[in-house]
Amino acid sequence: MSEGRVNIVLPVHVKAPVEKVFPLCCPVEEYRWIPGWKCHLIHCPNDKVELGTIFSEVSSAPFLLSSFRGKTTWTAIMHDPDNYKLHFRLDNEKSSSLYTIELQDDGRGGTAGTLDFTYTAINDKGGDYGVKNMEEKIRVMLSIISAMLRHYCETGKMLTFAGLQKIVLSEPGLSVMDKIRMGLNRVVVLAMYK
């Protein structure tokens, strides 16, 4: 871990077949399993993620920008559905990050894999919050994504806002200010994408 750079790798396991889990890693499909998900599709001609898909969102601002607002643009730089691999570059005013999703059949009818996120500050603003704090925030973000995906795949239902709030409020890796930012971010998301 160098100054201004953080890498977090989170193993994931879902009790559902990989061929059903992998297609959910798509900005259009995320409306099915992420409570309150909103994004602006910039380039997604077939309404499915593919190489070159571009979209922007503000939901990640509390994690990547340490703010309740701010846009991050995602670009699919690798899409290999035959091997269940998807890589995104995420760009915002503070950082440029690489987020890789690599899944596989676990041999028991489920899905195993990793979420690998490398955050790189692109200016002093991106490094101001501190590497340790950023490392913890990204770990929490990936854990929440994993929990929402697992819940949907294993129950067939989107996690409720109350369930999501329970996860967020019980997360020791988030400060009180982080939790306030997440609440304010929810208001921003609703206002931006009416």
Summary mean pLDDT of the chain: 90
Confidence bin at 1 (pLDDT 50/70/90): very low
pLDDT of 124 over the 80 cut = no
Check residue 125 and give its pLDDT: 65
Q: What are phi and psi of 132, to 5 degrees?
A: -60, -45
Whole-structure pTM value: 0.90
pLDDT of 193 over the 70 cut = no
SS3 string, 67-109, reads CCCCCEEEEEEEEEHHHCEEEEEEECCCEEEEEEEEEEECCCC
pLDDT of 10 over the 90 cut = yes
Note the pLDDT tens digit of each residue in 139-183. Answer: 999 999 999 999 999 999 999 888 888 888 788 877 887 878 887
Per the model's pLDDT, the better-predicted residue between 77 and 190 turns out to be: 77
The residue behind tokens 């559905």 is 81
The residue behind tokens 């035959």 is 82
Note the pLDDT tens digit of each residue in 35-52. Answer: 989 999 999 989 999 999
pLDDT of 34 over the 50 cut = yes
